[in-house]
A = this chain, B = another copy of it.
Amino acid sequence: MARYVVDVMPKREILDPQGKAVLGALPRLGFEGVSDVRQGKRFEIEVEGEDDDRQREEVRRMAETLLANPVIEYFTVHAHEPSVELVDATADDSGAS
């Protein structure tokens, strides 16, 4: 079983209304000093078989065809490392109210 991550982000020259909405909301919530926010998509894809160049190329073609709109978005494909760093937010209640 091979696992991949496809990150899809709006190109720099493209307006990003979702990112702008977040950027506008942050000061109202008391967060200062944020100068830019861009919002995109993240896909985690599980494929039968081993990770190899052919599989990776296949995932790249999925991204081009279905996951991203190459006119306004760019994407990256990389292998998904089983992350020990994945944090369950509810389990990480370190006293912030």
- B-binding residues in A (CB < 8 A): 1, 7-9, 11, 19, 22, 25-26, 29, 31, 33-49, 58, 61-68, 70-71, 73-78, 83, 85-90, 96
Contacts and interface: CB of A to CB of B under 8 A. Distances in A.
Given A40-B44, A41-B42, A70-B90, 18 more contacts: A7-B42, A8-B42, A9-B44, A11-B88, A31-B65, A33-B48, A34-B45, A34-B46, A34-B48, A36-B44, A36-B46, A37-B44, A37-B45, A40-B43, A42-B42, A70-B89, A74-B87, A75-B87
Contact of A89 (B38, B44, B73, B83): B73
A33 B62 contact: no
